[in-house]
Amino acid sequence: MPRHAHYVPHGVIPAVILPFSDDLAIDEKGFREHLQDVAAVKGLSAVTVNAHSTEVASCSFDEQRRVLDIAQDEIGGRLPLVNGIWADGSLEAARIARMAEQGGASALLVFPPAPFTLGQSPAMAVEHFRRIADASSLPLIVFQYPLATGQGYPRDTLLKMCDEVPTIRAIKDWAGNIAQHEMHVRELQSRRPAVNVLSTHSAWLLSSLVLGCNGLLSGSGSVIADLQSALFQAVQSNDLAEARRLNDRIYPLARVFYADPWADMHNRMKEALVLLGRLPRAVVRPPLVKLARAEVERIRAALVEAGLLPQKAARDAA
């Protein structure tokens, strides 16, 4: 039984990063400090681990279990934990789901299987989620990719999944298409019970939230959870002036974090945390590589523009 029983994914959910030492081992001390830093932000609903932001594709099953154990030990008493399910096969996905429930997670974020890039059917998608639901009673969050990737779920497939797997309670929406995104908000959140839409359109977050999303789940929350929480509250309160003011601070960071190649987005967030003094080093596991100095300087300039670093920091770096 999770520590936060009956949690339904909603609201502001940062996805934390995973620090590594120079030898590429998990930096447990740095991870604990990062968890405490993020969890101290007011207005959060939960925290996500074992996802893109923690470089889950480069972590073994045992490392993923350790990541969850550390997070549970450090902040699990305060906030629900969402654990990612990254697996190409449904049997392995079910094994991770069992581990996560035993480890005290409160919800599961299910990534689409990579074989779906070759094509999928509604029956395949339902079978994948049914296997996970059979292995765990936790609420499921469907990670909705863009349809062009082959890993996104078309409307009819998504509705069939929700009909046949009742523990699906939210989607992490990365559709990348405004019309499709609005359709998700209108159709899924009007169901009973609602399937909440958690935006991960962090490159255009204000535009996304005003469509009526019931939350957001974002890796950039590892750096700016406070700004995201304030933005979500402003939108919920219909305070457009405050929402636009906050978006003006978020925009320069979205511009640098979500530049091409997108695979480097969390690499860039680590560099931002180093510049902010919240992380001792920005080490990533291969195939990711260290960012060039020019890109780090662009991140520094964005932090200054966002009001997170003083202008003096940019002059000193020059």
What CATH architecture applies to the domain 11-223? Alpha-Beta Barrel (3.20)
List Cβ neighbours of 52 (8 Å cut-off, separation of 6 or more): 15, 84, 219, 265, 266
Amino acid present at 67: V
Q: How far apart are CA 86 and CA 71, in angstroms?
A: 18
Q: How far apart are CA 277 and CA 8, in angstroms?
A: 34
pTM of the model: 0.96
- Domain locations in the chain as residue ranges: 11-223
Q: What is the pLDDT along the chain (318 residues), one digit of tens a residue?
A: 557 878 999 999 999 999 999 999 999 999 999 999 999 999 999 999 999 999 999 999 999 999 999 999 999 999 999 999 999 999 999 999 999 999 999 999 999 999 999 999 999 999 999 999 999 999 999 999 999 999 999 999 999 999 999 999 999 999 999 999 999 999 999 999 999 999 999 999 999 999 999 999 999 999 999 999 999 999 999 999 999 999 999 999 999 999 999 999 999 999 999 999 999 999 999 999 999 999 999 999 999 999 999 986 555 655
Q: How far apart are CA 57 and CA 276, in angstroms?
A: 26
